[in-house]
Every structure is written in structure tokens, then in C-alpha cells.
Amino acid sequence: MRAAVAADYDGWGYNRSAAGARAARADGFDVTEHLPAALRRAAAADALIVVAVPMPAVDHMLSAIATYAPQCALTDVVSVKAPVAAAVRAHGLADRYVGGHPMAGTSESGWAATDAKLFGDAVWAVGVDEGTRADPWTRVVRLALDCGSVVVPVVAAEHDRAVARISHLPHVLAEALALAGAGGGDLALGLAAGSFRDGTRVAGTAPDLVRAICEPNSTALLEVLDETLTVLATARDSLRDATSLADLVEAGHDARRRYESARRWEITDIRAGDRDWLEHLRAAGERGGVITRLD
């Protein structure tokens, strides 16, 4: 809401926490702790509703939306996408829904951690699943662009497999690394420098939030976690039997270089509502394409 209002949107919000709503109001934002009131207002204004709660709270929110504002365009910024889409369908809201996931955040949470510039130069995943309608899709893309992000078009299942690799696994490894460091006591923690600090940063995230991000994506996370256990066990065997980490280190370095040198390219020739636009956007997203503006 802070970013949207900074981009000149007429935005208002709901927070279940009275303290959170008060803190936002103290900063001049229009926030209530009364959900029906916020949603009735959204329905009257034909607003775009952005669900920004952890996965365990999504069902409750959708239930209220189905009651008070079922015709509104609807998106979300929940990490995982397929479970949100399933819940949206269960509440009969699929027609107006387009999933979203801005790839930005810190290990902090709460109103005090809000930052209007959080989405600047970020990537914002926006759904192009079958059945997506052009009107709400365009509104969601415009919001992302207005907040300073570029948009990656992606279907829910592919999104969830991708973020298991680049967001959820990093959380799991950061927690394990933090544990390994603390196992070395004050001496090890006192010697820790950049590699440990960076490698454990996201372990500072609130545990409930990490679980709410990772656990709903367990199928995809299990797949890459198993893959990584195999990679690490192979490296362990090589280190034990041949005192060598060559295979892991060379492949890992190549992978990091590929990440560093990846260049986004701009999708310019596909318009919402055109023939096969969803399939074309999905294919472009898979090849590293991003949307940077709407005509």
C-alpha cells in the first residue's frame, strides 16, 4: 500500500492488527481493522484488491472477499501461487483473479518495515494461467510497473517450482548454515564474516513467516531439496575419498556466473487479449523475457 500510494494510487488498507493499523494511520495512511468496511468500499469503487497475507490467512481473506466484494479484480503477493489459485477457485473468485509475486523483501516484517521503494528494480511475477482475463491482468501488471518493478509472466506451477529453487531452498540452507555456525560456539560466531553473514541473512526472518512461505510449496521444495542433498552427499564423498571439491566448486561457479550474466529482454510484441496471448507470454517468460511497460 505504501508503494502504491507513493505511485499516486488512491489506496486504502485493512490489517487485522489494531496496532498495525494505528501505526499506518499515524503515518497518514488510510487503514482500518474492519475488514467488511474495507471490502464494501472496494466493491463500491471497483478497486483492485491485493491480498498480502501469509498463506495460512488466505482462506479467511478470500471468504470475506467472496462475501463483500466478489466482483472486484483480485491479485495477491503471497509467495506460492498454485495453492492460492486453488483457494481462489474454491471461493468462486477465479474469474477476476490474477496471481502475483513481487520478488522483493527483507527479513523484517510489520508496518515499520514497509518501504515505498521496496519494489523498485524488482521482478514481479504475474500469472498467465489458462483462463486469465485481460482486464484484471492489465491492472495487476500496471500496479507492478507503477511500483517500479518489471513483470515476469509465468503460470502458477512453473512459478512454484522456480521459487522453490531461488527463494525457498535459500531459506532452508540459511537455517542449516546458521545452526552449523552456532554449533561452533562463541569462537566460531566471533570469527564469522561476510560469507556466514550473507549465507544466513534470511534465517533472521520470523519463523512463522518462513514456514508460511515454504511449507505450502512442499512438493516443489522437496524435489529440489532432494536434488541438493544428492549434490552435497556427492561432494562429501569426493572430499572424503579424494580430498577434492572440484566437481561441486566448478559447477557451482559456472552456475553463479550464469546467474550474474543473465540478461533480461523486453517483451514488446504481445498484447493482452490478442490471440494466444497467454501462451505467448508464458513462453517469453520462460526464456527470460520481462514486461517493462504497457502501451
Residues between 239 and 278 that touch a copy of itself (CB under 8 A):
239-240, 243-246, 248-260, 262, 264
Per CB under 8 A, the list member of 8, 10, 186, 269 interacting with a copy of itself is 186
Residues 195-234 that bind a copy of itself (CB under 8 A): 195-207, 210-211, 214-215, 218, 221-222, 224-229, 231-233
Query: Which CA distances in Å does 189 have to 30, 181, 193?
Result: 44, 6, 9
Residues 69-88 that bind a copy of itself (CB under 8 A): none
CA 289 – CA 291 distance, rounded (Å): 7
Choose the binding region for a copy of itself from 35-43, 66-74, 168-176, 272-280 (rule: CB under 8 A).
168-176
Closest distance to a copy of itself from the beta carbon of 145 (Å): 16
Closest distance to a copy of itself from the beta carbon of 35 (Å): 28
* Set of cell numbers at residue 67: 462475501
Dihedral-angle region of residue 61 (phi above 0 means left; psi in -120 to 50 means alpha; beta otherwise) = alpha
Instruction: Give the residue with the Cβ less far from a copy of itself, 93 or 154.
Output: 154
Choose the binding region for a copy of itself from 52-60, 83-91, 136-144, 158-166 (rule: CB under 8 A).
158-166
Dihedral-angle region of residue 250 (phi above 0 means left; psi in -120 to 50 means alpha; beta otherwise) = alpha
Dihedral-angle region of residue 185 (phi above 0 means left; psi in -120 to 50 means alpha; beta otherwise) = left
CA 250 – CA 246 distance, rounded (Å): 6
Query: Which CA distances in Å does 239 have to 59, 177, 228, 249, 250?
Result: 48, 19, 16, 11, 14
Instruction: Give the residue with the Cβ less far from a copy of itself, 75 or 205.
Output: 205
Contact string (CB under 8 A) for a copy of itself, positions 18-57, x = contact:
----------------------------------------
177 touches a copy of itself by CB under 8 A: yes
Residues 106-145 that bind a copy of itself (CB under 8 A): 106, 122-123, 125
Instruction: Give the residue with the Cβ less far from a copy of itself, 228 or 292.
Output: 228
Three-state SS at 150? strand
Instruction: Give the residue with the Cβ less far from a copy of itself, 94 or 103.
Output: 103
Residue pair 33/16 in contact (Cβ under 8 Å)? The answer is yes
Per CB under 8 A, the list member of 37, 45, 113, 188 interacting with a copy of itself is 188
Per CB under 8 A, the list member of 44, 90, 179, 294 interacting with a copy of itself is 179
Task: State the SS3 of 167-219.
Answer: HHHHHHHHHHHHHHHHCCHHHHHHHCCHHHHHHHHHHHCCHHHHHHHHHHHHH
CA 277 – CA 280 distance, rounded (Å): 5
Instruction: Give the residue with the Cβ less far from a copy of itself, 76 or 158.
Output: 158
Closest distance to a copy of itself from the beta carbon of 140 (Å): 16
Closest distance to a copy of itself from the beta carbon of 281 (Å): 12
CA 283 – CA 17 distance, rounded (Å): 41
Within 8 A by CB and 6+ apart from 120, the residues are 147, 148, 149
